[in-house]
Amino acid sequence: MNKTIEEMKNPKTPKAQETREKIFRTALEMFKEKGFEKVTMREIAKACNMAVGAAYYYFKTKEDIVFEFYLHTQQEHEEETQKIFKESKDVQERISKTITIKLEQFAPYRSMLSALFKIAGDPGHRLSPFSNESKKVREEAIDIFRHAIEGSNLKMRGEIRNYLPHLFWLYQMGIILFWIHDRSENQKQSLLLLKNSLKIIFQLIRLSRIPGLKKIKQSAIELLNQTKLN
Amino acid sequence: MNKTIEEMKNPKTPKAQETREKIFRTALEMFKEKGFEKVTMREIAKACNMAVGAAYYYFKTKEDIVFEFYLHTQQEHEEETQKIFKESKDVQERISKTITIKLEQFAPYRSMLSALFKIAGDPGHRLSPFSNESKKVREEAIDIFRHAIEGSNLKMRGEIRNYLPHLFWLYQMGIILFWIHDRSENQKQSLLLLKNSLKIIFQLIRLSRIPGLKKIKQSAIELLNQTKLN
DNA sequence: GTCTATAACCGGATAGAC
DNA sequence: GTCTATCCGGTTATAGAC
């Protein structure tokens, strides 16, 4: 019992694979149209010409369907960013594009994603981005930022550099949270926030090499070492 | 119909007032013991010797009970911080104490508060801290930080100063989110994070007066003006 | 192992009588 | 303002077919 998220993704037979995907795609389409809460599991099953039990055979909970969407985009995100990283060595551009791509992937499903982000506020939830169970996914997401930094033109050396991938991932979470709440047309406020805040972040990073600012840098290192981000 | 959060707090008769408080106190005690999800409305009603319908007469949803707790602490928070502000003019200490007090108020009810913070991830939710309906509460919370800054030894002038209360409120939200997820003993990691991050924040604020850093300051102002925080 | 069909459970929320 | 009965939807249980 108690399969991990990854194990659940690997049904035994091709037929099962197909069924699982059918449920997934159907549900997603319905969520996109009517929103997560408005769609019932009974409706999803009926739309797939199956019994409720079948849906629950593949997805432990309704939320797990949305979580699977997240896993999918995660995969795509990895591929898309790798292309970008080949095109440019500039860190700021790499990070900016990385997050922009994520938002673009999410865009058509924005309303449904709040169902996923509610989970982030619940420390006990299996699917929380901070939970043990989603550790693997989280680390893959952080790795994308690691790749963005490796082989880039980022001059920064020393301890803080190692924390950057995790910090950017956290930053990305913040941007997404803002984006989900962003009611401006096409969420352009979020894009502005992204652009402008990245500008400041990299100004500060460049600044951090000035010898007179050793003190702040020391404080930052202390903070990061003490506050184990795990 | 559609009373605001504030109107709901003012029942017509003293008797009603009492009933409401009984439900509130009973539920809170039960949440504290068994956690929000584990307690049912039926149990709460039974413990109060009334019918479910009665409980729902006073609280629109189960979450509203927790929200009322939040309103209570909000009141207390205002009073407690005013005392602190009389004792010290130092901004950093004022802000630090403000947030520490909030965490202390929350501490006994930590597990139940995740129910409230899940709401923060849901843009459509009435009780979201970013929603229209909770605007009044939000502004009261922000005002506390305004008071912390007014009459303090903060030297900062200019545009950014006006944004500080809102920014500190946002910062406080982040700290609370971290604190809710913090599994370290007595959440001491969170206190470390608070202490160390405040240190950096105020180092940066002091730094912002150096003329050579005009550029960053300009970027920050631009960011804040464009990203209307409302 | 993959599914159907159906009934039931549970708990949040509501309706409507009193 | 309070009650009882009911709805609703996520989830589970059961029993069996392929």
Q: Which pLDDT tens digit goes with each residue over B163-215?
A: 999 999 999 999 999 999 999 999 999 999 999 999 999 999 999 989 889 99
Within a domain: B156:
yes
Single residue among A60, A92, A109 that ends a domain in this structure: A60
Residue A1: its pLDDT value, please?
Answer: 39
The answer to whether residues A43 and A129 belong to one domain is no
Within a domain: B66:
no
Which DSSP category does A58 fall into?
H
The answer to whether residues B110 and B44 belong to one domain is no
> For A213-224, how does the pLDDT look when each residue is reduced to its tens digit (9 = 90+)?
999 999 999 999
Q: What is the CATH number of the domain that holds B87?
A: 1.10.357.10
Single residue among A12, A36, A60 that ends a domain in this structure: A60
Give the residue from A196, A222, A224 with the most B CB atoms within 10 Å of its CB, the best one to mutate.
A196
Within a domain: B68:
no
d(CA B58, CA B44): 13
Within a domain: B124:
yes
Q: Count of CB contacts below 8 A, A vs B? A: 91
The domain tally of chain B equals 2
Shortest CA gap A177–chain B (Å): 7
The answer to whether residues A118 and A209 belong to one domain is yes
The answer to whether residues B96 and B28 belong to one domain is no
Give the residue from B61, B110, B122, B130 with the most A CB atoms within 10 Å of its CB, the best one to mutate.
B122
Single residue among A30, A60, A90 that ends a domain in this structure: A60
The answer to whether residues A110 and A201 belong to one domain is yes
One-character DSSP codes across B102-125: HHHHHGGGHHHHHHHHHHHT-TT-
* Burial annotation A73-88 (CB, 10 A radius, 16+ → b, else e): bbeebeebbeebbeee
Within a domain: B24:
yes
Q: What average pLDDT does the segment A56-83 reach?
A: 97
The answer to whether residues B28 and B91 belong to one domain is no
The answer to whether residues B177 and B82 belong to one domain is yes
The answer to whether residues B81 and B55 belong to one domain is no
d(CA A134, CA A130): 7
CB contact at 8 A, B170 and B120: no
> For B65-117, how does the pLDDT look when each residue is reduced to its tens digit (9 = 90+)?
999 999 999 999 999 999 999 999 999 999 999 999 999 999 999 999 999 99
pTM for this structure? 0.95
The answer to whether residues B96 and B199 belong to one domain is yes
Domain that holds residue B117: 75-226
Residue B1: its pLDDT value, please?
Answer: 45
D strand bases under 7 Å from protein CB: 1-5, 8-15
CB contact at 8 A, B198 and B95: yes
The answer to whether residues B160 and B113 belong to one domain is yes
Within a domain: B67:
no
d(CA A93, CA A100): 10
C strand bases under 7 Å from protein CB: 1-7, 10-16
Say whether A207 and B223 touch across the interface (CB within 8 A): no
The answer to whether B107 contacts chain A (CB < 8 Å) is no
Q: Which residues of B touch A120 (CB under 8 A)?
A: 121
The answer to whether residues A46 and A97 belong to one domain is no
Q: What is the CATH number of the domain that holds B7?
A: 1.10.10.60
The answer to whether residues B46 and B114 belong to one domain is no
d(CA A194, CA B39): 41
The answer to whether B199 contacts chain A (CB < 8 Å) is yes
> For A123-149, how does the pLDDT look when each residue is reduced to its tens digit (9 = 90+)?
999 999 999 999 999 999 999 999 999
* Strand D reaches within 7 A of the B14 CB: no
Compare CB distances from A114 to B123, B219, B228 and report the shortest one's residue: B123
